[in-house]
A = this chain, B = another copy of it.
Amino acid sequence: MSTSPCLVAVDWGTSSFRLWLMSRDGTVLAEHRSKEGMSEVAERGFELVLESHLSTLAVPQDIPVVICGMAGSRQGWVEAGYIDIPADLTIIGQNATIVPGTARRIIILPGLAVRSLSEPDVMRGEETQLLGAHFEMPSGTCYCMPGTHSKWVSMDGATVSGFETFMTGELFATINAKTILAHSTGGKGDVDAHDPAFLTGVRDGWTRPEKTTHHLFSIRAGQLLYGHGLDESRARLSGLLIGAELAGAGINGGEQIGLVASGVLQRLYHAALSECGVNVRDIDADVAVRRGLIESWQHFSNTSGDQKRP
C-alpha cells in the first residue's frame, strides 16, 4: 500500500526538529515540528525525544529513521563524521552512521568538510537538502542556502565542488539583540522584503561590503540624529548583512542561482538576489531536505542489506 508508512525522515538542527512520516511513494503521511533542537534535547536524551514523537504517531518499530543535521555533530547524538569535498552527494547515504543500541534502525547522515588550512569549512544538514535540490534542479551549478549560517555551494552534477559559509543569520540575531544597535533595531518582527530600507541596505552591503561595520554604526546614528524607527533600522541591518554576503559570494548580477529556502528567509533572499540582478530559481527547503533524506535512505539500504526494511 502506498499510504502505509515506510520511513521516518528527520532534519534535526541546532534549534529545530522536523520529522516527516513518509509512505513508499513519497507521500507525507504526517509531520511534526518542534523547537527541540540540540541544546534542549542534549539533556533529555535524543532517543527519548525521537520515540515520543514516533509514539504519538504510532509508528511501528520496524519503520526506520534517517536523520540529517546537527544531531550528527560531536555535541549531538552520535558523531556522523564529514565527507571531504569534492563529494558526490549520492554517497552520503552509504556513509551514514548507524545509531547503536536502539531497537529501531536509525541512521545519521554525515556532513561535508572543506579541508583547507587557510579557509576550512563544514556543513551538516545542508548536504542532504542539496541532494534533494539537485533532483529539483539537476542543471543547477550554484545554490544559496540562507540560514543561521548561510551556505553558498558550487555543484558539478551531483558533486559538491566547493562551498562557503557566511554567519549572516547569527550575526543579524546577535547584533540585533546584544549590541548598542539593540536600542535602534531591537525587536522580533520579521523584516519586510519590500521595505525600501531593506533593499537599500542590500545594495549598500553588496556594492561596499568593506563599509559594513561602519554602515552598522550609522544605523545607530540615524536613530540619534533623525529618529529612524526600529522596523526601518532592523530592515536596514538585515539588508546590509545579506548584501555583504552576496558580495562575499561573488554575485555580479546575471547569474542563475538555486535558492533553497522557505518562509521569511526565502522572501528576503529572493528580493535581495533579484535586487542584485540574479535570476533566482526557488527551491522549497522542506521539499528538498525530505527528498534528500529519502534518497539517502535508499542509497544506504541498497548498500547495507536493509533493502527489505522500508
* A contacts, CB < 8 Å to B: 74, 82, 113-115, 117, 119-122, 149, 164-168, 170-171, 174-175, 178-180, 209-218, 220-222, 224-226, 241, 244-245, 247-248
Do most interface residues of chain A lie in helix, strand or loop, or is the interface mixed? helix
Instruction: List 5 interface pairs A-B (beta carbons < 8 Å), by A numbering.
Output: A119-B215, A165-B214, A171-B175, A171-B179, A210-B247
Residues of the B chain whose Cβ atoms lie less than 8 Å from the Cβ of A212 = 209, 212, 244, 248
Count of identical protomers in the assembly? 2
Write the chain B residue with the least CB distance to A228.
B120
Residues of the B chain whose Cβ atoms lie less than 8 Å from the Cβ of A175 = 171, 174
Write the chain B residue with the least CB distance to A245.
B213
Residues of the B chain whose Cβ atoms lie less than 8 Å from the Cβ of A213 = 166-168, 171, 241, 244-245, 248
User: Judging by beta carbons under 8 Å apart, are A114 and B167 in contact?
Assistant: no
Residues of the B chain whose Cβ atoms lie less than 8 Å from the Cβ of A121 = 214, 217-218, 221
User: Judging by beta carbons under 8 Å apart, are B217 and A165 in contact?
Assistant: yes
Residues of the B chain whose Cβ atoms lie less than 8 Å from the Cβ of A149 = 180, 217
User: Judging by beta carbons under 8 Å apart, are A226 and B166 in contact?
Assistant: no
Interface centre among A164, A174, A214 (most CB of B within 10 A): A214
Complexed CA–CA distance, A244 and B113 (Å): 26
- What 3 A-B pairs have minimum CB-CB distances, sorted nearest first? A209-B210, A120-B221, A210-B247
